[in-house]
């Protein structure tokens, strides 16, 4: 058997004998690389963030920030990982001060206080530093809110930001093109973030000779056919779909790992110890992204960041979803496949995809079948997916509805779990509603369609009177409960308000008095 | 020149420098307690057995099955304790309890060769519990009259009489939540018996001396047999003042029993479910105002939720009572305090230490009463600010009260408050679904430990023959920049460049009997001690230099690493040369420094005295925008003017102010501890026990524009180099956010009504405040319409 090896900071390290349940963070720390920290072990705090080399297009790669606490270390067999230790060196007895530009800015601007979250911030920031699309834009309004609260342009275009959000975007992009959302998965308890933002926005462009920049010009390492048994469990990276289906048939209870954002939490917090873990994140049939005349197919194992880049705004509703879906660190690992397959009633992709009338393609050794997402869930975290079947792709029919919106109600704007999430897709024929789909999460055991509300709207004139009635119906959709995120009463109110908000968004005239 | 506050020319203090470990932080090379274990072999890992009951008796505990798990080495129980089975200084916290006092209480600990083995061992331990009735909420505890500790009363004047005579009299009550510290580094200890037989405890602790004491008394040893070292902490915020001791004791017990190093690091969920938090409070109040809105009297009862044991609940409550005045003159006061005993974690110190809870009450009162008094809330606050000559309800003169007014004015000017108020009005008039508002709130925070004895500190400073300098002091580094400031103090006192001053980790065998690094006092106390040690050495070196330069020792100057006389023609001696000369002349080059804060006294029974060395002042103005559809909001801009005296280290101080503000805003707007208070099987369980359910402020909660200004020419006499403490006071600047949210929600309705806002002011809480405002508006509109000759009333645009 080939040896299992991970290249960390340019140095090849053996990963032989490591349990499939050992995450990348714990393995790094056992190797003596203690810069990466555990703050939560569930991908919420980013203290463990590292950079990994990921495929980008046909012949390039991309330094991608991920939470090291979630994926099994074995996922990285043959891969390249960079930690804060690999970016620079502090002065010491046998070392001269050699800081990476990101580290330099963080150190000099007061970006660290206790320092525990800092290595993770540095890695998230470095990945954004090297992001090829990061362009220098005019710095005119990046650091100051427009002095006067200008009235929004009120455009009725789909995908426009909600009232009052337009000035926010300025604050979330630096004059150097730095997207603050790159740090949305990193928590700091000490600084209050201002110096970290300043450090991020002060970064210049990487030097042409920067080895990490140049590394992006060549492909990411290929996935290796890892097959390892340790600690009473087996880890396999199948090379083909047939191999995968064979393994699934023999061991239907096997756990699939793509980004590990769900499995990692199961292992770390709920102490699940699956006997077989199958890595599927590099299987090509799961990584398709095709835009046809009448549909878009999105491979289940593409990361949300990859889908976001691949669609490039093609689906406005999803464009609204992405920045609100967890954090950049999570989106760099998580997939639609994982989010839908785990079946959480508060997963954010289902309400959006329900509104888009999406279906899922379920594949097994016996072939493939297409199931409308609205018929996929059968109960709390249960679906029509059979043992041995996996979710291969998500299919979105075209053309898209003319008016869409995605509203996420949560306590925190960055990286929170929804209390309620609502996706709207509306087609008007003149003033009449010719089609409408509303997907809702957080108000029932599964994501649902707001069918009674849709019924009340369909073929009716799109007026405020209609809306007021429909909003009242909307408030009664689902069976919301009280929990730690929100009360049932608030959830119902948010359903109603989301309808009113959507209407306001489509009616620029009501925004002005 | 010998005064503590005076600075020499070209001091190293006052220069903005990065955190002294910044390079180590950004490269991941900075070591924390749990990073040490990979350097040792044969380390054992500890895992707790946590009880699934809010209150229960442990009827039996069977460890046999656990010991059968491969890799399990030992199960630690009460029977193993050679000394005292207690982890608290109040002797009410058994380390291994026979009575479970809160859901998740650790009844025993399993040691394993791996963390996995220890965890599986803990699952295998069989415990029989006899559930007992439990009290969880403050309401339940108050009804059952379940209280603990003392019940202080703070009085001045005649509150009842003044209330009866007041032109306006209002009353209310409010309950507000606690706060999880959520230091990024969870509790961690790593203990082994060293080659000299010393119990060496590496611990993430703000109070190494107390950790040492508790470990010693659990093990039945003398303090001299235990050494505690704290390299640095990944955040503390008060959560590591009292709480680390028990975990260190468990690890120490394991290390002595097995002869192997023991590592105990809590997972996040263990940390949240086991360790204490900021105290939730309930307040019932009655306040009287005169015609102009001046507060005449305040009568209140504050009940804190202390959890299952006392911990620091008494001093927290005392500080709450001592800060219920915040920055306001209240001539007649009668405030009662009491501590509820509930079946929850034992609530403890958290940045502000009761101060925020006390101030919450008066700020809530002013925010609620301003519309009823027909006053702008900012104007109401301004009218009530202390003026020079007044004193606090506990009898301490409010020295420098004029700074409150100067800060207030500076803040209004710098933040352009008047113009922005007009802009906000225009904005609100043209946006039916949004409301903006800004609010200004002040802070006055007393600096010193309320308990006078804690206000002392020690330091140990070595100058080596080569002129290099190594300093130790009793304070701990948790990110607040104390070590950075101490290096600056030493460099200033010895007149050397910062680079040659090195600082060694905090250890109880270097400086004994230290106080906790807490109460914002770290720099004041330890800075005094470091300076004292350096002054001793400098005075001796001055004698050596004076002989060499043939001048009087008083005329010797130390600056930039050169020692010279005061005359232009005096030759300079490099500091290193002087150190070597001193050695050969047999002059001691090291010194132990000591500092005690002068002039403090406090009668805790009468709640009278002068417990504080001075007050820290500040004020903040925050502008928010609230979305009428959801109650969600953004913090558009915050401006702060804050008094840190003459800053020892401006970059550090600004960092403390910004970080404290955001942490305070987190407590007041976002962070929510949710306990299962049902009668179901998990009664008492903390539902928000992980990072996914307990949300800290992230980038999205930072004010989009954030300006901090240090109040200038603010020398504080009697404090090291004229500085002031900074750790805690900025937390309370965040009331400006809560009050702005209240006003923004109010702006959806008529402007003359009292607006109640739950705390934390989550989007949901704000949404309900908006809903009540709209309902009030609808009622007014209906009434107006019903009148035959309706009075024209400015109706805001319909907010659907």
Catalytic-role residue among B93, B671, B728, B739: B728
Spatial separation of the C-alpha atoms in residues A407 and B184, rounded to whole Å: 31
Q: Chain A contacts of B737, Cβ < 8 Å?
A: none
Q: Residue A359 carries which DSSP code?
A: E
The answer to whether the CB atoms of B233 and A33 lie below 8 A apart is no
First to last CA, chain B: 68
Chain B interface includes A117 (CB < 8 A): yes
Cβ B626 vs Cβ B744: under 8 Å: yes
Task: Name chain A contacts of B771, Cβ cutoff 8 Å.
Answer: 493
- Structure tokens, A50: 């590292």
- Report pLDDT digits (tens) over B318-355: 999 999 999 999 999 999 999 999 999 999 999 999 99
pLDDT reported for residue A100: 98
| A344 in contact with B, Cβ within 8 Å | no
Query: How many CB atoms are located within 10 Å of the residue A96 CB?
Result: 8
Task: Using CA coordinates, name the residue in chain B closest to A410.
Answer: B763
- A250 & A209 share domain: no
Of B26, B702, B771, the CB nearest to A192: B702
Show pLDDT as tens, one digit a residue, over chain A (513 residues). Answer: 569 999 999 999 999 999 999 999 999 999 999 999 999 999 999 999 999 999 998 899 999 999 999 999 999 999 999 999 999 999 988 899 999 999 999 999 999 999 999 999 999 999 999 999 997 543 333 333 333 333 333 333 333 333 334 445 578 999 999 999 999 999 999 999 999 999 999 999 999 999 999 999 999 999 999 999 998 999 999 999 999 999 999 999 999 999 999 999 999 999 999 999 999 999 999 999 999 999 999 999 999 999 999 999 999 999 999 999 999 999 999 999 999 998 888 889 999 999 999 999 999 999 999 999 999 999 999 999 999 999 999 999 999 999 999 999 999 988 899 999 999 999 999 999 999 999 999 999 999 999 999 999 999 999 999 999 999 999 999 999 999 999 999 999 999 999 999 999 987 654 433
Tokens of residue A45, six digits = 């705090």
State how far the Cα of B381 lies from the Cα of B91, in Å rounded to an integer.
Answer: 43
Instruction: Choose among A110, A119, A147: nearest Cβ to B651.
Output: A110
What is the number of other CB atoms lying within 10 angstroms of the CB of residue B509? Answer: 15
Is A228 a domain residue?
no
Query: Is A40 in CB contact (< 8 Å) with chain B?
Result: yes
Q: How far apart are the first and last CA of chain A?
A: 73
Angle, CA B781 vertex, CA B775 and CA B786 arms, to 5° = 130
Residue contact B30–A180, C-beta within 8 A: no
User: Where in B38-133 does DSSP place strands (E)?
Assistant: 44-50, 56-62, 72-76, 99-100, 106-112, 126-131
- C-alpha neighbours within 13 Å on the C-beta side of residue B644: 26
On whether residue A491 sits in a domain, the answer given is yes
User: Which letter does DSSP use for residue A29 in this model?
Assistant: H
**What CA–CA distance (Å, rounded) separates B723 from B720?**
6
Residue B682 has pLDDT above 50, yes or no: yes
What are the start-end ranges of the E strands in B149-225? 153-156, 168-176, 188-193, 199-203
Tell me how far apart the alpha carbons of residues A460 and B582 are, in angstroms, rounded to a whole number: 96
> Based on the domain organization, do A202 and A322 belong to the same domain?
no
Does A381 contact chain B (CB < 8 Å)?
no
Check CB contact under 8 Å for B699 and A180: yes
Q: How many CB atoms are closer than 10 A to CB A85?
A: 21
A285: left (phi over 0), alpha (psi -120 to 50) or beta: alpha
Token pair 């396999």 is found at: A236
Same domain flag for A42 and A173: yes
3-state secondary structure of A363: strand
Shortest distance between the Cα of B195 and any Cα of chain A, in A, equals: 24
Contacts of A419 in chain B (CB under 8 A): 764
**What's residue A138's pLDDT?**
39
* Residues sharing a CB contact under 8 Å with residue A364, sequence separation 6 or more, in sequence order: A245, A248, A386, A388, A389, A390
**A344: CATH:** 3.30.465.10
Stretch B587-607: mean pLDDT = 96
Taking an 8 Å cut-off on Cβ atoms, the answer to whether A113 and B19 are in contact is yes
Two tokens, residue B752: 């003359």
On whether both A415 and A387 belong to a single domain, the answer is no
Distance of CA A31 to the CA centre of its chain: 29
B432–A197: do the CB atoms touch at under 8 Å? no
CB contact under 8 A, B698 and A88: no
The count of other CB atoms within 10 Å of the CB of residue B618 is: 31
d(CA B732, CA B442): 8
Token pair belonging to A441: 């999460």
The nearest alpha carbon in chain B to A113 belongs to B479
Q: How far apart are CA B264 and CA B189, in angstroms?
A: 5
What's chain B's Rg over C-alpha atoms? 28
Taking each continuous run of H as one helix and of E as one strand, the counts in chain B are 19, 30
The strand ranges marked E within B401-490 are: 434-447, 456-463, 469-473
Mean pLDDT of all residues belonging to chain B = 96
Residues B428, B430, B432, CA angle at the centre, nearest 5°?
A: 75
CB proximity list for A211: less than 8 A, separation 6 or greater: none
Cα–Cα distance list, B647 to B83, B458, B480, B485, B713 (Å): 46, 22, 14, 10, 10
Nearest to B596 by CA among B449, B460, B482, B463: B449
Percent of chain B with pLDDT over 70: 98
Contact A151 B431 (CB under 8 A): yes
CB of B682 closer than 8 Å to CB of B50:
no
Same domain membership, residue A210 and residue A307: no
Contact call for residues B300 and B361 (beta carbons, < 8 A):
yes
Q: Give the C-alpha separation, B424 to B441, whole Å.
A: 18
Grouping H, G, I as helix, E, B as strand and the rest as coil, residue A448 is: strand
Nearest to A352 by CA among A64, A157, A158, A155: A158
Distance in Å, alpha carbon of A501 to nearest chain B alpha carbon = 7
What tokens does B133 get? 């009735």
Q: What per-residue confidence (pLDDT) applies to A152?
A: 35
Q: Which two tokens stand for residue B393?
A: 């309800």
Say if residues B745 and B773 touch (Cβ distance below 8 Å): yes
Closest Cα partner for B483 from B16, B20, B33, B12? B20
Cβ under 8 Å to B: A residues 445-484: 483-484
| Chain B CB within 8 Å of residue A110 CB | yes
Do residue B268 and residue A41 have CB atoms under 8 angstroms apart?
A: yes
Structure tokens that stand for B263 in this block: 């590592």
Which residue range(s) make up the domain with A312?
238-400
**CB distance B310 to B190 below 8 Å:** no
Task: Report CB contact under 8 Å: B430, A151.
Answer: yes
pLDDT at res. B789: 58
Q: What is the model's pLDDT at position A93?
A: 85
B293 to chain A, closest Cα gap in Å:
33
Domain final position from A379, A400, A421: A400
Q: Is B116 a catalytic residue?
A: no
Nearest by CB to B23, from A87, A91, A149: name it: A91
Would you say B131 and B62 are in contact if contact means Cβ atoms under 8 Å apart? no
A274 forms beta bridges with none
- A170 and A36 part of one domain: yes
> Is A511 within the bounds of a domain?
no
Identify the pLDDT of residue B357.
98
Residue B417: CB atoms within 10 A of its CB come to: 16
Q: Are strands A432-441 and A448-449 parallel, antiparallel or unpaired?
A: antiparallel
Cβ proximity of B350 and B243 under 8 Å: no
Contact assignment for B691 to A39 by CB distance below 8 Å: yes
The answer to whether B650 and B718 have CB atoms below 8 angstroms apart is no
| Nearest residue of A to residue B653, measured between CA atoms | A110
Q: Is residue A229 part of a domain?
A: no
Does residue A232 belong to any structural domain of this protein?
A: no
Extract the tokens encoding A4. Answer: 């299992």
| Residues in chain A within 8 Å Cβ distance of B620 | none
CB pairs below 8 Å between A and B: how many? 286
Answer left, alpha or beta for residue B237, where phi above 0 means left and psi between -120 and 50 means alpha: left
At B658 the three-state DSSP class reads: helix
Provide the pairing of β-strand B434-447 with B456-463: unpaired
Q: Is residue A487 part of a domain?
A: yes
**Alpha carbon B460 to chain centroid distance?**
26
**A369 domain residue, yes or no:** yes
B663 with A189: Cβ contact below 8 A = yes
Same domain, A343 and A373: yes
pLDDT for residue B452: 87
- How does DSSP assign A216-233, residue by residue? TTSPPPPPP--EEEETTE
Higher pLDDT, B512 or A512: B512
Tokens describing residue B116: 């996995």
pLDDT band for position B286 (50/70/90)?
very high
Sign of CA dihedral B660, B661, B665, B668: positive
| Residue A197 to residue B702, Cβ atoms within 8 A | yes
Residues A162 and A262 in one domain: no
Those residues with Cβ within 8 angstroms of residue A324's Cβ, 6 or more apart along the chain or in another chain: A348, A406, A408, A413
Residue whose token pair is 């024209």: B792
C-alpha dihedral sign at A374, A379, A384, A390? positive
| Per-residue model confidence as pLDDT tens digits over B706-759 | 999 999 999 999 999 999 999 999 999 999 999 999 999 999 999 999 999 999
Name chain B contacts of A35, Cβ cutoff 8 Å.
27-29
Sheet holding B434-447, edge to edge: B434-447, B614-627, B633-642, B705-710
Tell me if chain B has a CB within 8 Å of the CB of A262: no
A387 and A502 assigned to the same domain: no
How far lies B28's CA from each of A493, B263, B379, in Å?
46, 21, 49
Q: Residue A6, SS3?
A: strand
pLDDT at B637: 98
> Which residue, A400, A423, A454, sits at the end of a domain?
A400
Q: Which CATH number do you get for residue A410? A: 3.30.390.50
Residue B316 sits at φ, ψ, to 5 deg, of: -65, -45
pLDDT at B264 over 90: yes
Residue A513 lies in a domain: no
Instruction: Indicate the residue among A194, A223, A252 that finishes a domain.
Output: A223
- pLDDT bin (cut points 50, 70, 90) of residue B450 is confident
Chain A residues with CB-CB distance to B767 below 8 A: 490, 493
pTM, full prediction: 0.95
Nearest by Cα to B659 from B182, B240, B241: B182
Number of domains, chain A: 3
Question: Residue A92: closest CA among chain B residues belongs to which residue?
Answer: B24
Do both A176 and A42 map to the same domain? yes
The enclosing domain of A216 has a CATH number of: 3.10.20.30
Q: Would you state the pLDDT for residue B3?
A: 84
Residues A22 and A116 in one domain: yes
Instruction: Show residues of chain A in contact with B427, CB under 8 Å.
Output: 148-149
CA distances from B335 to B323, B344, B732 (A): 11, 25, 20
* A505 touches B at CB < 8 Å: no
| A187 and A256 share one domain | no
């Amino acid at each position: 058997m080939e040896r299992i090896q991970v290249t960390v900071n340019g140095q090849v390290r053996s990963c032989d004998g490591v349990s499939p349940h050992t995450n990348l963070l714990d393995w790094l720390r056992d190797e003596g690389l203690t810069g990466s920290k555990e703050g939560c072990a569930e991908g919420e705090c980013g203290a463990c963030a590292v950079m990994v080399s990921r495929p980008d297009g046909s012949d390039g790669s991309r330094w991608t920030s991920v939470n090291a606490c979630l994926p099994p270390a074995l996922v990285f067999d043959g891969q390249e990982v960079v930690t804060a230790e690999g970016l620079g060196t502090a002065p010491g007895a046998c070392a001269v001060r050699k800081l990476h530009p990101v580290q330099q800015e963080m150190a000099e601007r007061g970006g660290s206080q206790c320092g525990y979250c800092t290595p993770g911030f540095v890695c998230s920031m470095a990945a954004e530093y090297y992001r090829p699309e990061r362009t220098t834009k005019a710095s005119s309004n990046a650091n100051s809110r427009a002095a006067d609260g200008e009235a929004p342009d009120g455009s009725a275009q789909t995908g426009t930001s909600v009232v009052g959000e337009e000035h926010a975007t300025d604050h979330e992009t630096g004059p150097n093109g730095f997207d603050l959302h790159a740090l949305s998965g990193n928590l700091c308890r000490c600084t209050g973030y201002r110096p970290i933002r300043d450090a991020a926005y002060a970064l210049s462009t990487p030097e042409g000779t920067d080895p990490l920049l140049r590394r992006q010009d060549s492909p990411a390492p290929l996935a290796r056919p890892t097959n390892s048994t340790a600690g009473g469990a087996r880890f396999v990276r199948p090379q083909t779909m047939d191999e995968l289906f064979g393994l699934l048939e023999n061991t239907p209870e096997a756990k699939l790992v793509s980004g590990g954002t769900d499995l990692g939490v199961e292992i770390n917090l709920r102490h699940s110890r699956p006997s077989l873990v199958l890595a599927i994140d590099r299987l090509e049939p799961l990584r398709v992204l095709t835009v046809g005349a009448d549909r878009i197919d999105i491979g289940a194992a593409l990361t949300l960041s990859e889908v976001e880049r691949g669609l490039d705004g093609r689906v406005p509703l999803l464009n609204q979803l992405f920045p609100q879906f967890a954090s950049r660190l999570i989106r760099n690992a998580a997939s639609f496949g994982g989010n839908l397959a785990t079946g959480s009633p508060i997963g954010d992709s289902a309400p959006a995809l329900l509104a888009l009338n999406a279906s899922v393609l379920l594949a097994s050794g016996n072939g493939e079948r297409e199931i409308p997402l609205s018929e996929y869930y059968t109960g709390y975290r249960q679906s029509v997916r059979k043992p041995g079947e996996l979710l291969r792709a998500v299919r979105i029919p075209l053309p898209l509805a003319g008016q869409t919106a995605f509203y996420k109600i949560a306590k925190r704007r960055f990286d929170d779990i929804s209390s309620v999430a609502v996706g709207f897709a509306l087609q008007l024929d003149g003033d009449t509603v010719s089609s409408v789909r509303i997907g809702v999460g957080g108000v029932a055991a599964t994501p649902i369609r707001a069918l009674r509300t849709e019924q009340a709207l369909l073929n009716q004139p799109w007026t405020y009177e209609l809306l007021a009635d429909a909003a009242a119906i909307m408030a009664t959709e689902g069976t919301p409960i009280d929990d730690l995120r929100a009360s049932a009463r608030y959830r119902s109110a948010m359903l109603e308000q989301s309808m009113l908000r959507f209407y306001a968004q489509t009616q620029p005239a009501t925004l002005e008095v | 020149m010998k005064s503590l506050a005076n600075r020499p020319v070209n001091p190293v203090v006052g220069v903005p420098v990065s955190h002294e470990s910044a390079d180590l932080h950004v490269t991941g090379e900075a070591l924390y307690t749990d990073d040490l274990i990979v350097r040792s072999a044969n380390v054992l890992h500890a895992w707790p057995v946590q009880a699934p009951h809010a209150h229960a008796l442990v009827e039996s505990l069977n460890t046999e099955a656990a010991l059968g798990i491969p890799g399990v080495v030992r199960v630690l129980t009460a029977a193993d304790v050679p000394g005292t089975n207690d982890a608290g200084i109040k002797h009410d916290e058994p380390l291994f309890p026979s009575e479970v006092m809160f859901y998740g209480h650790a009844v025993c600990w399993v040691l394993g060769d791996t963390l996995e083995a220890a965890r599986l061992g803990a699952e295998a331990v069989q415990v029989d519990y006899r559930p007992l009735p439990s009290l969880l909420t403050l309401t339940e505890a108050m009804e059952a009259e379940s209280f603990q500790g003392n019940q202080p009363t703070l009085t001045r004047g005649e509150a009842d009489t003044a209330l009866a005579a007041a032109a306006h009299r209002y009353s209310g009550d409010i309950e507000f939540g606690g706060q999880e510290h959520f230091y990024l580094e969870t509790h961690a200890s790593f203990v082994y018996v060293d080659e000299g037989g010393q119990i060496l405890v590496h611990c993430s602790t703000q109070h190494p001396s107390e950790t040492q004491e508790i470990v010693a008394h659990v093990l039945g040893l003398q303090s001299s047999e235990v050494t505690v070292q704290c390299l640095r902490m990944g955040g503390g915020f008060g959560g590591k003042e009292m709480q680390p001791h028990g975990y260190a004791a468990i690890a120490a017990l394991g290390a002595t029993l097995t002869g192997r190093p023991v590592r105990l690091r809590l997972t996040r969920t263990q940390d949240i479910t086991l360790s204490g938090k900021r105290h939730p409070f309930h307040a019932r109040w009655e306040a009287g105002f005169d015609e102009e809105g001046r507060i005449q009297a305040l009568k209140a009862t504050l009940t804190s939720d202390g959890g299952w044991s006392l911990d620091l609940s008494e001093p927290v409550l005392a500080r709450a009572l001592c800060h219920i005045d915040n920055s306001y003159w209240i001539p007649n006061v009668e405030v009662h305090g009491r501590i509820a005993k509930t079946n929850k974690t034992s609530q403890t110190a958290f940045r502000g230490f009761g101060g925020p809870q006390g101030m919450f009450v008066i700020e809530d009162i002013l925010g609620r009463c301003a519309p009823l008094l027909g006053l702008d809330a900012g104007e109401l606050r301004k009218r009530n600010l202390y003026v020079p000559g007044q004193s606090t309800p506990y009898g301490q003169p409010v020295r420098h009260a004029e700074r409150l007014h100067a800060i207030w004015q500076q803040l209004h000017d710098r933040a352009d408050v008047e113009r922005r108020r007009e802009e906000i009005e225009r904005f609100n008039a043209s946006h039916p679904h949004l409301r903006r508002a800004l609010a200004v709130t002040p802070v006055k925070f007393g600096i010193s430990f309320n308990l006078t004895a804690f206000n002392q500190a020690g330091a140990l400073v070595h100058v080596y023959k080569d002129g290099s300098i190594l300093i130790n002091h009793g304070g701990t580094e948790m990110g607040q920049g104390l070590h950075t400031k101490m290096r600056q103090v030493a460099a200033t006192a010895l007149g050397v460049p910062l680079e040659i001053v090195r600082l060694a980790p905090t250890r109880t065998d270097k400086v004994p009997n230290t106080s906790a690094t807490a109460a914002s006092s770290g720099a004041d106390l330890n800075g005094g001690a470091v300076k004292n040690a350096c002054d001793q050495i400098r005075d001796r070196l001055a004698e050596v230099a004076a002989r060499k330069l043939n001048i009087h020792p008083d005329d010797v100057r130390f600056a930039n690493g050169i020692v010279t006389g005061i005359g232009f023609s005096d030759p300079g001696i490099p500091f290193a040369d002087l150190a070597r000369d001193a050695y050969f002349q047999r002059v001691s080059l090291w010194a132990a420094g000591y500092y005690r804060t002068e002039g403090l006294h406090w009668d805790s029974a009468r709640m009278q005295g002068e417990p504080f060395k001075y007050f820290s002042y500040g004020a903040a103005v925050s502008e928010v925008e609230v979305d009428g559809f959801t109650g969600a909001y953004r913090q558009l801009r915050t401006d702060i003017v804050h008094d840190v005296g003459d800053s020892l280290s401006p970059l550090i101080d600004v960092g403390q102010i910004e970080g404290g503000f955001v942490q305070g805003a987190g407590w007041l707007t976002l962070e929510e501890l949710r306990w299962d208070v049902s009668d179901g099987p998990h009664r008492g369980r903390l539902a928000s026990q992980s990072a996914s359910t307990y949300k800290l402020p992230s980038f999205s909660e930072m004010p989009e524009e954030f300006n901090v200004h240090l109040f200038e020419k603010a020398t504080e006499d009697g404090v090291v180099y004229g500085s002031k403490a900074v750790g805690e006071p900025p937390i309370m600047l965040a009331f400006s956010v809560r009050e702005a949210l209240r006003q923004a929600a109010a702006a959806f309705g008529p402007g003359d009504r009292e607006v109640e806002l739950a705390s934390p002011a989550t989007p949901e809480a704000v949404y309900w405040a908006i809903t009540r405002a709209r309902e009030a508006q609808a009622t007014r509109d209906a009434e107006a319409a019903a009148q035959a000759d309706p009075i024209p009333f400015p109706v805001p645009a319909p907010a659907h």
